[in-house]
Structures are given as structure tokens and as C-alpha cells.
């Protein structure tokens, strides 16, 4: 009896996890496709880290949460910012120095894993967001794959897992019913 209760709890937990995974992946795919870029949740943007310039703190393939908006001249040394280069590429680096030039604020930046500062200062107008300290390692690889043309395929994986698991649960229930019927026939 105790074993049956434990199995029921395990079944409920696995079903819930698979369902949450399915909903999460579906939501991420839809948000990414609709926005045409990085997903945004609760006012934070999720960015994929594609280089090792900020390792070991931010690993390649991680996703990070950044907070866009606000006064982009507010940052100080040691803050980590995400900024846009001239070619449109987004970079997340640490500020090493703040340079005030009249009405303009510029930041000298450097990746934690780089030997030297970035070659040119970043204008405060090119700062996109501030890094919040939230990092999930390796999930960026999945996010990158979802953003491809075949990204909707990733919604199938949790669905297929749920179908397999459901088939297993049904098979197990039918086996127990057959065993119970067999015992009832033998005792009659």
C-alpha cells in the first residue's frame, strides 16, 4: 500500500514536470517568434551568451537576464552592461572606467576573461541594458536552436515525452488490472 502511494506521487510529479516543460518550451518558442528576437519576461530580456569573454562568471552558451531601459548614464565601474556595437552585435562586458565628456558619458569596457579593454569606448546611447546577475548555464544553446527556422520542433520533444510516459502509465495500469483479474479467477 505504501509503495502504491509513493508511485502515485512519483507519477504526479513526473506528469507535472513534463507538462510544465511543454508549456515553458511552447511559450518560449511563441514569444521568440512573435518578438522576432530575444525573449522577454516580466520586464527582463533573456540574452544568449555566444562567447567566453565573461567566463568564468558567465559561461559560453548561458542565458542571462538583463534589465533594459532607464538612464543609461547611471552606470559606474564594475557594473556589467549589454551594449550594441556599430555592426548591431550585442556585447555584455564589465565597465572599467566611466568617462564624462561634457553632455556625453562613455564607458571603457572589458570582458572578464579578456586580456585588454575593448578597443573603443561605449557611448551611453549604445547601452541596451544592465546585467542583473541572473545566469542559467547552457540553456542559451537551446534558445539559439529554438530561434532557428526549425525551432518549433523543440515543442515536440516534451509532447513526445508526455506521450511515451502516458503510454507507460496506461500499460502499467492494464498490466495491474490483468494481474488482478487473474488472481480473482484463480481464487474463484
For residue 82, what is the domain's CATH number? 2.10.109.10
Considering the domain architecture, whether residues 119 and 170 belong to the same structural domain is answered as: no
pLDDT in tens, the chain (188 residues): 687 788 778 877 887 887 777 777 667 666 666 666 556 667 777 788 888 888 888 888 888 888 887 888 888 888 999 898 888 888 889 999 988 877 888 899 998 888 988 888 888 888 888 888 888 887 777 767 766 666 666 667 767 777 888 888 888 888 888 888 888 887 76
For the chain, the distance separating the N- and C-terminal CA atoms, rounded to the nearest angstrom, is: 24
Sign of CA dihedral 63, 145, 20, 137: negative
Considering the domain architecture, whether residues 169 and 109 belong to the same structural domain is answered as: no
**Distance from the Cα of residue 183 to its chain's centroid:** 51
Best CA proximity match to 81, nearest among 42, 56, 118, 136: 118
pTM across the whole model: 0.59
Considering the domain architecture, whether residues 48 and 99 belong to the same structural domain is answered as: yes
Selecting among 24, 35, 51, 187, the annotated active-site residue is 51
Considering the domain architecture, whether residues 81 and 16 belong to the same structural domain is answered as: no
Active site residue 51: yes
Considering the domain architecture, whether residues 130 and 84 belong to the same structural domain is answered as: yes
- Domain total of the chain: 2
Considering the domain architecture, whether residues 64 and 137 belong to the same structural domain is answered as: yes
Amino acid at each position: 500500500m505504501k509503495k502504491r502511494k509513493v508511485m502515485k506521487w512519483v507519477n504526479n510529479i513526473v506528469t507535472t514536470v513534463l507538462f510544465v516543460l511543454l508549456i515553458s518550451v511552447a511559450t518560449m518558442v511563441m514569444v521568440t517568434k512573435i518578438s522576432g528576437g530575444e525573449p522577454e519576461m516580466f520586464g527582463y530580456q533573456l540574452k544568449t551568451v555566444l562567447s567566453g569573454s565573461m567566463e568564468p562568471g558567465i559561461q559560453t552558451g548561458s542565458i542571462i537576464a538583463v534589465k533594459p531601459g532607464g538612464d543609461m548614464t547611471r552606470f559606474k565601474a564594475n557594473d556589467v552592461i549589454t551594449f550594441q556595437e556599430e555592426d548591431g552585435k550585442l556585447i555584455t562586458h564589465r565597465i572599467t572606467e566611466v568617462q564624462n565628456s561634457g553632455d556625453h558619458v562613455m564607458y571603457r569596457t572589458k570582458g572578464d576573461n579578456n586580456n585588454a579593454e575593448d578597443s573603443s569606448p561605449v557611448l551611453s546611447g549604445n547601452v541596451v541594458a544592465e546585467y542583473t546577475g541572473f545566469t542559467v548555464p547552457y540553456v542559451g544553446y537551446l534558445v539559439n536552436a529554438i530561434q532557428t527556422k526549425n525551432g518549433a520542433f523543440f515543442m515536440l520533444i516534451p509532447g513526445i515525452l508526455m506521450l511515451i510516459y502516458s503510454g507507460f502509465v496506461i500499460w502499467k495500469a492494464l498490466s495491474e488490472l490483468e494481474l488482478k483479474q487473474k488472481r480473482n479467477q484463480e481464487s474463484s
